[in-house]
Amino acid sequence: MLAVTYWRRRVPVILGVLFSLVLTYALCNLAVQEKWRIRNEIAKTEIEQEYATADGANLVFTALIIGPFEAIAYTSIWGIIGWRCWPRLRKQE
pLDDT of residue 93: 62
Largest CA distance in the chain: 63
For residues 48 and 5, give the distance between their C-alpha atoms in angstroms, rounded to a whole number.
47
* Cα separation, 24 vs 74, whole angstroms: 8
pTM above 0.85, yes or no: no
From the CB of residue 12, how many other CB atoms can be counted at a distance below 10 Å?
14
pLDDT at 49 (0 to 100): 84
Range of the domain at 58: 4-92
Q: What is the pLDDT of residue 87?
A: 84
Please give the average pLDDT of every successive group of 10 residues along the chain, which has 93 residues.
Answer: 88 94 95 88 87 78 91 95 86 73
How many independent structural domains does the chain possess? 1
